[in-house]
């Protein structure tokens, strides 16, 4: 009975650790988010969008070597700029955006 309880506890902790790790985006996922956002900003569709996305994701850009937190900051900053937020409204938006996983 004790062994089964220990095994169940171990499996539960491994499952929880897996979910916690999945919440953080990898650098590639962050890059995908940024490229996708840029393609949306340019209103690209179809083959033009596919070509842009392929090129953007392959690019040796400044995105290489930056931490996921820095990528998140860049994404949130771009979103705040698109919404033309200023002052306290921008600070609040940035704070909430950076807290999201």
Q: Is residue 75 part of a domain?
A: yes
Q: Is residue 2 part of a domain?
A: no
pLDDT of residue 10: 58
Over the chain (101 residues), the average pLDDT of each successive run of 10 is: 60 54 68 85 86 80 66 87 92 89 58
Total tally of structural domains belonging to the chain: 1
Q: Is residue 12 part of a domain?
A: no
User: Which pTM was predicted?
Assistant: 0.39
Alpha-carbon distances, residue 45 vs 40, 49, 61, 80, 94 (angstroms): 9, 5, 23, 24, 29
Q: Is residue 16 part of a domain?
A: no
Q: Is residue 7 part of a domain?
A: no
Residue pair 27/68 in contact by the 8 Å Cβ criterion: yes
Q: Give the separation between CA 52 and CA 49, rounded to whole angstroms.
A: 5
pLDDT of residue 55: 84
pLDDT of residue 20: 47
pLDDT of residue 91: 93
Q: Is residue 4 part of a domain?
A: no
Q: Is residue 17 part of a domain?
A: no
pLDDT of residue 84: 92
Instruction: Please name the residue that has the structure tokens 């916690």.
Output: 20
- Which residue, 35, 68, 69, is CA-closest to 53? 35
pLDDT of residue 1: 63
Q: Is residue 65 part of a domain?
A: yes
Q: Give the separation between CA 56 and CA 93, rounded to whole angstroms.
A: 27
Residue range(s) defining the domain that contains residue 57: 23-99
């Amino acid at each position: 009975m004790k062994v089964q309880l220990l095994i169940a506890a171990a499996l539960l902790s491994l499952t929880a650790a897996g979910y916690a790790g999945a919440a953080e985006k990898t650098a590639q996922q962050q890059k995908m988010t940024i490229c996708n956002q840029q393609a949306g900003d340019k209103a690209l569709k179809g083959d033009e969008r596919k070509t842009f996305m392929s090129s953007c994701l392959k690019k040796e850009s400044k995105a290489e070597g930056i931490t996921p937190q820095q990528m998140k900051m860049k994404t949130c900053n771009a979103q705040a700029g698109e919404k033309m937020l200023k002052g306290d409204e921008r600070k609040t938006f940035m704070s909430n955006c950076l807290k999201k996983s």
